[in-house]
Amino acid sequence: MKRRNAVTVWVPSSSANLGPGFDVLSIALREPSLRVSLSFSDSDGIRITLKGKYGETLRADPEVHSGCKALRALMANYNIDEGFDMVVYVDIPPRKGLGLSGAEAAGAVVAANELLSLALSKDEMVYYASHGEPEGHLDNVSASVCGGFNIVVRDYITGMPRVYNFRPPSDLGAVVIVPNVEKKSTGDARKAVPTFVHKSDMVGNVSRVAAISVGFVTGDVDCILRNIAWDTIVERSRADSQVYGRGVDWKFLEEEKLHLFKKYGIAETISGAGPSRILWYSISRHSQVIDEALGYVLDRLRELGYDAEAIFKTYPSGIGAYRLSEQYE
């Protein structure tokens, strides 16, 4: 029987900490995206090569690369002693809050599942992919593995991840704005998260997480847009700690969000730990004003001395990482 000796998978980027859903809600984005190719190697361990638009800007070290860490966790659990060559075509901007490390980890695990015919469930793939992420958080990898909109929880009894996955409404569009802000590390961004919160803030965030989830489950885009922009705990604290750039405090950000929603009906979120912003809109109702709204945000960035490194006019991806090609021996 022939066996696969190489597999290539496509992986969507993601926006985690979606709205007020810190470490719980995430969504996959069609673009930007990356590819991961995994093949058997004659040498021991994992060899990593980075290509693509951003490949040369990153360190190809198998000891710290998120895809390699996730793959090693899978290999250890299944007593796999094969050597692997991994090639990542990095077309997701690094350190911009678009889930690059989570996508690399997801791609490595999905590719290994295909290459080794492991028949892992989605939850199992999310579990192994989370080993590539700081503190093992699950939201980024859930979106890149499963696609769509995700509510991720750790089972109270087993501690294992459980992902509740829903296909996004077809009327929901997204514009990703990647500013040329040098972000602090994700670890530093997590330090800005408050340890204690006011009861009113907690209740407000929980209520909006529930409403956003209902919006995705029922396909109610208006419900999503009305609730997704408002995180008065994590996003507010990070803004006031200058995580999203000099001058982007909560007062500045809230003013921007209010203007976008009141004038255009468009919602704005910070993606992941930032600094990228996402404008969420109804394709049927807001297509004629989305460029004007985008221009408003770009003008605000320029007022602070920043500009956009990249802009992606995209959509939520209904599918997660999947096999593009395979080779047999």
- The domain segmentation of the chain, as residue ranges, is 4-167+316-328, 172-314
Write out pLDDT tens, residues 154-170: 999 998 999 999 999 99
Q: Which are the contacts of 127, defined by CB distance < 8 A and separation ≥ 6?
A: 160, 161
- Give the pLDDT score at 43: 84
Q: Which are the contacts of 271, defined by CB distance < 8 A and separation ≥ 6?
A: 15, 16, 96, 97, 98, 176, 277, 278
- Give the pLDDT score at 185: 63
Write out pLDDT tens, residues 261-278: 999 999 999 999 999 999
Would you say the CATH fold of 172-314 matches that of 4-167+316-328? no
> What is the CATH class of 172-314?
alpha beta
Separation CA 235–CA 253 (nearest Å): 9
Length of the chain: 329
The arrangement of secondary structure in 4-167+316-328, i.e. its CATH architecture, is 2-Layer Sandwich (3.30)
The dihedral formed by the CA atoms of 86, 88, 94 and 98, expressed in degrees to the nearest 10: -100
